[in-house]
């Protein structure tokens, strides 16, 4: 979710964090390969040293031994670190944002929506006139970079907001207090999931243990994470500029058959998870 993508999915999606499985670490990053330069690796190492990754406090079960509790806590911390390592690399290879011209568009309208100037649009695409056509691909390197946090207009990612299965923040799961970086909402598979605001898709694909994940940068230091989506219905692609309400894909069934279907909705500002209430009104 520059550094934005890095912290973003360390969210690990609450769905991922609540599954402290060490074996998933090796493949915790996206399934598509991401180039990793020596510079980005050094940057990653420095950032991980600077950022303390903590697991939630374990409540004191009466039966398991102290060693058992420590092992569970260590595995959870290791899982979170592995997710961080696998996802910091997303920042290393961001695609130039592209916008597909729609019916009724003009350069001035597109510039206003994306927070750029007509001059910038023309310069980035070698345009000498204001004529554009439906379906034309426009490169917009500066998309949303000048957007102020208060100017992002939010909408629901789904038409109907279901009950909360797991809230934002810490929640009790058995004898453990688990961290949740977003809200998991009861939602039937096949539900249409839409972009909650204008933005640039920074990741759209599988993450082992999480299903298909879509990450969008909206400008104003805001980023959203939505999962799990059905890969077969995925409309979003990395680098694509989406407008609020655009279809991203349909909700997938959870990986565990016994688990209640849910949509994970996560909102981040300046790389820190915040309550996603403004998306769910």
Identify the band that residue 180 occupies on the pLDDT scale cut at 50, 70 and 90.
confident
Taking 50 as the threshold, does the pLDDT of residue 64 lie above it?
Answer: no
pLDDT reported for residue 94: 63
Instruction: Judge if 82 and 171 occupy the same domain.
Output: yes
SS3 at position 159: coil
Instruction: Judge if 87 and 166 occupy the same domain.
Output: yes
Instruction: Judge if 66 and 170 occupy the same domain.
Output: yes
25 Ramachandran zone, left/alpha/beta (phi>0; psi -120 to 50): alpha
Whole-structure pTM value: 0.72
pLDDT reported for residue 205: 93
Instruction: Judge if 134 and 39 occupy the same domain.
Output: no
Among candidate residues 142, 177, 198, the one where a domain is terminated: 142
Instruction: Judge if 128 and 266 occupy the same domain.
Output: no
Number of domains the chain contains:
2
CA distance 216 to 122: 25
Q: Evaluate whether 182 touches 14 at the Cβ level (below 8 Å).
A: yes
Average pLDDT value for residue range 219-248: 97
Average pLDDT value for residue range 202-220: 91
Tokens of 260: 């209640």
Select the more confidently predicted residue: 198 or 208.
198
Tell me what the pLDDT averaged over the chain comes to.
Answer: 75
Taking 60 as the threshold, does the pLDDT of residue 188 lie above it?
Answer: yes
Element housing 67 (H / E): helix 66-88
pLDDT reported for residue 179: 86
CATH assignment of the domain containing 30: 2.70.70.10
The answer to whether residue 79 is domain-embedded is yes
Instruction: Judge if 259 and 188 occupy the same domain.
Output: yes
Centre a 10 Å sphere on the Cβ of residue 261 and count the other Cβ atoms it contains: 19
Instruction: Judge if 32 and 74 occupy the same domain.
Output: yes
Among candidate residues 86, 119, 142, the one where a domain is terminated: 142
CATH assignment of the domain containing 116: 3.10.350.10
Range of the domain at 112: 98-142
Taking 80 as the threshold, does the pLDDT of residue 263 lie above it?
Answer: yes
Instruction: Judge if 239 and 263 occupy the same domain.
Output: yes
pLDDT reported for residue 34: 38
CA distance 189 to 38: 41
Nearest-5° Cα angle at 153, 152 to 156: 125
List of E strands, the chain:
98-100, 137-139, 164-166, 169-173, 176-180, 183-186, 192-194, 199-207, 211-219, 222-229, 241-242, 247-250, 262-269, 272-274
Instruction: Judge if 133 and 41 occupy the same domain.
Output: no
The answer to whether residue 185 is domain-embedded is yes
The answer to whether residue 147 is domain-embedded is no
Instruction: Judge if 107 and 59 occupy the same domain.
Output: no
Instruction: Judge if 67 and 165 occupy the same domain.
Output: yes
The answer to whether residue 166 is domain-embedded is yes
Taking 60 as the threshold, does the pLDDT of residue 182 lie above it?
Answer: yes
Q: Which residue has the tokens 């390592």?
A: 85
Taking 90 as the threshold, does the pLDDT of residue 251 lie above it?
Answer: yes
Instruction: Judge if 163 and 231 occupy the same domain.
Output: yes
Select the more confidently predicted residue: 143 or 87.
143
Taking 80 as the threshold, does the pLDDT of residue 87 lie above it?
Answer: no
DSSP calls for 70-109: HHHHHHHHHHHHHHHHHHHGGGGSPPPPEEE--TT--HHH
The residue among 31, 21, 54, 44 whose CA lies nearest residue 91 is 44
pLDDT reported for residue 222: 97
pLDDT reported for residue 175: 84
Taking 70 as the threshold, does the pLDDT of residue 125 lie above it?
Answer: yes
Most trustworthy range by pLDDT among 43-47, 90-94, 273-277: 273-277
Identify the band that residue 176 occupies on the pLDDT scale cut at 50, 70 and 90.
confident
Over pLDDT 70: what percentage of the chain? 67
The answer to whether residue 200 is domain-embedded is yes
């Amino acid at each position: 979710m520059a550094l934005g993508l890095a912290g973003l999915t360390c969210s690990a999606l609450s769905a991922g964090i609540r599954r402290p499985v060490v074996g998933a670490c090796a493949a915790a990053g996206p399934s598509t390969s991401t180039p990793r330069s020596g510079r980005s690796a050094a940057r990653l190492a420095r950032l991980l040293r600077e950022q303390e990754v903590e697991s939630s406090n374990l409540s004191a079960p009466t039966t398991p031994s102290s060693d058992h509790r420590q092992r569970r806590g260590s595995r959870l911390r290791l899982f979170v670190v592995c997710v961080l390592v696998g996802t910091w690399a997303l920042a290393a290879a961001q695609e130039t944002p592209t916008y597909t011209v729609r019916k009724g568009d003009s350069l001035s309208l597109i510039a206003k929506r994306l927070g750029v100037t007509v001059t910038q649009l023309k310069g980035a695409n070698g345009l000498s006139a204001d004529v554009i056509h439906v379906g034309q691909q426009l490169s917009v390197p500066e998309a949303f970079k000048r957007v102020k946090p208060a100017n992002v207009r939010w909408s629901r990612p789904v038409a109907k907001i279901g009950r909360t299965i797991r809230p934002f923040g810490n929640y009790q799961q058995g004898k453990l207090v688990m961290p949740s970086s977003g809200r998991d909402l009861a939602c039937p598979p096949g539900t249409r999931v839409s972009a909650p605001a204008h933005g640039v898709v920074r990741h759209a694909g599988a993450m082992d243990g999480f299903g298909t994940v879509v990450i969008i940068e909206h400008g104003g230091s805001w980023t959203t994470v939505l999962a799990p989506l059905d890969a077969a219905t995925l409309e979003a692609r990395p680098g694509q500029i989406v407008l609020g309400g655009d279809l991203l894909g349909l909700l997938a069934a959870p990986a565990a058959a016994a688990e209640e279907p849910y949509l994970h909705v996560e909102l981040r500002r300046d790389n820190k998870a915040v309550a996603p209430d403004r998306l769910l009104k």
